[in-house]
Every structure is written in structure tokens, then in C-alpha cells.
Amino acid sequence: AQSVAQPEDQVNVAEGNPLTVKCTYSVSGNPYLFWYVQYPNRGLQFLLKYITGDNLVKGSYGFEAEFNKSQTSFHLKKPSALVSDSALYFCAVRALDDKIIFGKGTRLHILP
Amino acid sequence: EAQVTQNPRYLITVTGKKLTVTCSQNMNHEYMSWYRQDPGLGLRQIYYSMNVEVTDKGDVPEGYKVSRKEKRNFPLILESPSPNQTSLYFCASSLTGLGNQPQHFGDGTRLSIL
């Protein structure tokens, strides 16, 4: 079955420390992968995507993600966390039938 | 400004009373979709539309209807709402339905069915 997993419901990081939000996927064929962020009372906002090419993808607000085909992972990273990065983060993947499957989300808390 | 607009943002209603949530995008996008967001379940797709007059079921279509008569509009219809449809709903659009472009989301509609 095609799926996306975000193994952590919540991640806590001290401000200024590096952060990682994990995502693994299971789809047939070459995956298209996305990260979105959701702030309170708002819709999801696009952060970055991997379609093809360089495995390290850079996106908005200083975020980046690394595509790892052998581990079927697409972890979101940032070198130095800000309190304003606190939000709900979703990983998504395009499935074989062109549908987009979303993970269940990871709540990121950046502690001042 | 490029945007997806949903109305209403909040609605409390009663079981069985038909309601419509409107969605409009101003980006000339071909693809539009409806999702519901529930705690612990993430986003689940209800219906999607690849273009005008083309709609298809997502993962949780039961109890919902949609139509796509114009490119910019994609209303979600609950003909006989029930309490298990209490949720946060999002409309989204993207340039095409190929899956290689990001989706633009509205700010959500919080529905409470009593």
C-alpha cells in the first residue's frame, strides 16, 4: 500500500539548535515529495518539494530536506531553529494514481 | 493576490440541514481538491477535480458531493450532514493534477454538526 509516515507526533527543540522532522514513504515508482507547514487557524503553506535532481532541496524560511532513496526518507531540516518555526508540519507524496497522500503531521515546538 | 477563498470559515448547524461550503481560486488552476483534517488522522482527501466537469472520489467521499461547473469554483455539498462530519475542511488547488506542483490551500472551514 502507498503511504507516508511521520513517526513523531511532536518534536521539541531549543531555539538555536538544529531541527529535524522525519518522513518516510512507500510508493511505487519515482516519488514526488512535499513538505507543508500549518500555522494556527491557517491553511497549509508549501515549504519545498523534491521531484528529481539534487537530493538536497532548499525551501522557504531556511528549511531544507534530504531525499534518501535507499531509506525511502525525506526528512525536513533547519540548521538553527526559531521560536516562530513552531507549527504543524506535514509531509506529502504523490501516489501512483497521481493522488497526493499526506502524513498525519508533526507538531514542532521550539523552546525559547 | 493569488489565493484560495473558502466560505464560511466557521459554521455550526444541525443534523440533516443541507449546507454548502464554497471554494474559489483566482490562479486559473486546473486541479482542485477538498480535504478534511481530524486530530491524529492528518489530511484525508474527500473529492478532487482535474478540470471543469471532471470530478473524482478521494479516500473519504461518503456523505459529500461536489461540482465543477466553472474552473475557479469547487463547492462542497453536505446534503444531510451528520455529527461524524464535524471537522476542519480545506480546499486546495494546483496548476495541474500531475502531482508535481505544490497545492495552494484556503484557510479552512470549521464545521460543527450537532
pLDDT > 70: what percent of chain A? Answer: 100
Residues 73-112 of A with CB under 8 A from B: 90, 94, 98-100, 102-105
Partner-chain residue, chosen from B42, B48, B106, that has the shortest CB–CB distance to A105? B42
- Give the mean model confidence (pLDDT) for residues A4-31: 95
Rounded Cα distance between A85 and A108, Å, is 7
The domain A3-111 having CATH identifier 2.60.40.10: the answer here is yes
Task: Compare all CA atoms of chain A with the CA of B56 and give the residue at the minimum distance.
Answer: A99
In sequence order, the β-bridge partners of residue B111 are B11, B87
pLDDT digits (tens, 9 = 90+) for A39-94: 998 999 999 999 988 999 999 999 999 999 999 999 999 999 999 999 999 999 98
* B60 has a chain A CB within 8 A of its CB: no
3-state SS assignment for residue B7: strand
Cα angle B28, B31, B37; round to 5: 120
* A31 has a chain B CB within 8 A of its CB: no
How many residues appear in chain A? 112
Averaged pLDDT score across all residues of chain B: 95
pLDDT digits (tens, 9 = 90+) for B64-105: 999 999 999 999 999 999 999 999 999 999 998 888 889 999
Query: In terms of Cα–Cα distance, which of A29, A54, A55, A47 is closest to A88?
Result: A47
The more confident residue out of A30 and B43 is: B43
**pLDDT for the residue numbered A28:** 84
The more confident residue out of A100 and A72 is: A72
